[in-house]
Chains A and B, each alone.
Chain A
Amino acid sequence: MVEIERGILAKNDAYAARNRTRLNAGGIVSLNLLAGPGAGKTTLLVETLRALGGRVPAAVIEGDQQTANDAERIRATGTPAVQINTGKGCHLDAHLVGHALDELPLPPGGVLFIENVGNLVCPAAFDLGEDMRVTLLSVTEGEDKPLKYPDIFETADLVLLTKTDLLPYLDVDVDAIERNIARINPVASILHVCAKGPNGLAGWLDWLGEVRRRRLDRLAADSESRAQALRAAAEALP
């Protein structure tokens, strides 16, 4: 009998920890975007990158089972992107993301967006090393998705309700969606976005700016205390 007591995903978690260390050391803020197929992840990214207008360095990792369509849509905005095709895989894992990072140099202060494979189930189980998880749910998907697929909502820092321009044409109850999200994850922020039409991303862009500022402040403070410790060590007698 051999005792193991090790998580089944220990390997993934080790790669995720490596990605996290590497991203932190590089001063990069990273977001993992999760949602079902077609919820509007790529459209949100394209419009976000247009709104940022190159003022914030950014890069994108695109996960899909097949095709390079989404990476091409991102590159059309002038932003570097790497497409990962998972083949039979239904989610990104930290090992795949680590290889993609090799191809995406980003300066300190850069933002890395990782668009996961469109799937409301499996991506939730795999830590990629990201700072924040953002789960998208389009208003056309109905009220009960958070209750049917709790894992992907439970682990989110932010839930974006997308395609809100369509609300006038639907009989969906937005309050019920928000209640169901809060029931599964009482601490997640919830924001509405619309990628078609003016000003539909304002709340999300504010959130992104705030997260980036806080994250960079934190990394800077860590570097300063490390620098102080090193200086103090240098000044001590040999």
Chain B
Amino acid sequence: MHEMALCESLLDSLRDAARAHGFAKVTKVRLVVGPFAGVEVEALRFGFDVVMRGSLAEDARLEILDEPGTAWCFDCNETVGLPDRLSPCPACGGERLRPNGGTDMRIKDLEVM
């Protein structure tokens, strides 16, 4: 639901980067979005097209890279891979888990002109 706000924040970052690196146009944006980042990728794509219209990133391609999800298992006392938020710990079958990887979304790199 907040994908619009994320795209606006993304546009701010693109403008900052344009000033810092001296480019005028962005042709491609690569984002890393973890499975537990709370982001609906389809909504993000839609928001991206709307928010970037008329900006330095109008018509830029959006590529979204996956990142593996991991969690701290309170029973194993270690980090384990977690494919899905509600799956049990793959090592011990326990359910006391807290995601510690794949929880954020970040800009990886840009193609610019």
Footprint of B on A, CB under 8 Å? 1-12, 88-91, 93, 119, 121-122, 124-126, 147, 150-151, 154, 182-183, 185-187
Known A8-B107, A90-B2; further 11 A-B contacts with Cβ < 8 A: A1-B111, A2-B21, A4-B110, A6-B106, A7-B107, A9-B9, A10-B13, A11-B13, A88-B4, A121-B38, A122-B1
Q: How far is the CB of A8 from chain B (nearest CB, A)?
A: 5
CB neighbours (8 Å) of B85 from chain A are: 150
Is the beta-carbon distance between A125 and B38 smaller than 8 angstroms?
yes
Check: B66 CB closer than 8 A to any chain A CB: no
Contacts of B86 in A (CB 8 A): 147, 150
Once the chains are docked, how many angstroms separate the CA of A5 from the CA of B110?
10
With both chains docked as a complex, state the minimum distance between the C-beta of A139 and any C-beta of chain B, in angstroms.
22
A12, A88, A122: which has the most chain B beta carbons within 10 Å? A122
The 4 closest A-B pairs by CB, nearest first: A122-B2, A4-B107, A186-B96, A2-B110
The interface on chain B, measured as residues whose beta carbon lies within 8 A of the other chain's beta carbons, has a size of 32
| B111 / chain A contacts, CB cutoff of 8 Å | 1-2
In the complex, A186→B99 CA distance in Å? 11
Write the residues of chain B forming the contact surface with A, with a CB cutoff of 8 angstroms.
Answer: 1-2, 4-6, 9-10, 12-13, 17, 21, 23, 31, 36, 38, 74, 85-86, 95-99, 104-112
How far, in whole Å, are A11 and B106 apart by their CA atoms in the complex? 12
Q: How far is the CA of A8 from the CA of B39 in the complex (A)?
A: 11
In contact, A8 and B106 (Cβ under 8 angstroms): yes
- Give the Cβ gap from A117 to chain B, nearest Cβ, in Å: 10
24 contacts between A and B (CB under 8 A): A1-B111, A1-B112, A2-B21, A4-B107, A4-B108, A5-B109, A7-B107, A8-B9, A8-B10, A8-B106, A8-B107, A9-B6, A10-B9, A89-B5, A91-B2, A91-B5, A93-B5, A121-B1, A122-B1, A154-B98, A182-B96, A186-B74, A186-B96, A186-B97
Which of B2, B4, B17, B99 has the most chain A CB within a 10 Å cutoff?
Answer: B2
The answer to whether B12 and A5 have CB atoms under 8 Å apart is no
Known: A90-B1, A147-B86, A150-B85. A7 touches B104 (CB 8 A): yes
- Bound form: Cα–Cα A150–B98 in Å: 10
Contacts of A154 in B (CB 8 A): 98-99
Which residues of chain B are within 8 angstroms of A125 by Cβ–Cβ distance? 2, 38
Partner of B98 from A1, A7, A124, A187 at Cβ < 8 Å: A187
- For residue B12, which residues in chain A have a CB less than 8 angstroms away from its CB? 11
One of B4, B36, B105, B109 near A8 (C-beta < 8 A): B105
A115 to B49, CA, bound (A): 32
Q: Which of B13, B21, B112 contacts A6 (CB 8 A)?
A: B13
Which residues of B have CB within 8 Å of A10? 9, 13
Contacts of A150 in B (CB 8 A): 85-86
Name the residue in A5, A7, A8, A91 with the highest tally of chain B Cβ atoms < 10 Å from its Cβ. A8
In the complex, chain B residues whose CB is within 8 Å of the CB of A12: 9
Task: Say yes or no: A5 contacts B106, CB within 8 Å.
Answer: yes
Closest to A4 in B: B107
Query: Which residues of B lie under 8 Å from residue A8 when comparing CB positions?
Result: 6, 9-10, 13, 31, 105-107
